[in-house]
Structure 1
């Protein structure tokens, strides 16, 4: 049985990012770019559109940029791992490649990745974590 590698980023931080990523992923193309009304006038449809000043996007970027370099590297490696780019035995190689590719545009790179939330959830599952352990009781 393969030993689960230690991560520089906590599973709780990854869960917060994957939750926000899912909020961002559901955004749709802008259908009325020159809308002068407020959101309540158009049945709140504008909150589901992918505007450049989207607060969810801004929050995600701030969270990712707030991570230290090792956490950012692990986050990218987890995204790659979760999309099927290797097995637990390959973690060292996946992380090394993420370290080589690391730059100051990590947040933008990750936000450009479709299904980021799903990839991170799959990676957490492979590392023995489930979303239920991070959900707050009602």
Structure 2
């Protein structure tokens, strides 16, 4: 289970697409997430790039916490395909990011 809201994941995807994964806005947003949210984001990216299966998300999260040595925004900012990998991770977990983005836009 991910310890980050879908809205925050979609926000990271949007920022990475608009400003790049290493953009100041993207890195700042990621740095402001709490540790659980950051480890979930890393685990989701790992699922998206195929390092872990969706069923192994908890193992990926534990490893993300255990291997955390650099700031998460630096680690994720170094991945030019971050937005695609996060989207692919959501897709692998049967979460349609387009539907999530539409739902968030409908909110008042």
**TM-score of the superposition, structure 1-length normalised?**
0.67
Paired residues, number: 103
Cα distance in 2 for partners of 1:89, 1:9 equals 17
Q: Give the deviation of 1:78 after TM superposition.
A: 0.7
Q: Give the deviation of 1:57 after TM superposition.
A: 1.4
Cα distance in 1 for partners of 2:26, 2:80 equals 14
Mapped contact 1:11–1:124 kept (Cα < 8 A):
no
2:92 is aligned to: 126
Q: Does 1:8 align with 2:38?
A: no
Query: Highest Rg: 1 or 2?
Result: 1
Alignment RMSD, CA only? 2.0
More helix per residue: 1 or 2? 2
Mapped contact 1:9–1:70 kept (Cα < 8 A):
yes
Q: Give the deviation of 1:104 after TM superposition.
A: 5.2
Q: Give the deviation of 1:92 after TM superposition.
A: 2.3
**Structure 1 runs not aligned, ≥5 long:** 1-5, 27-55
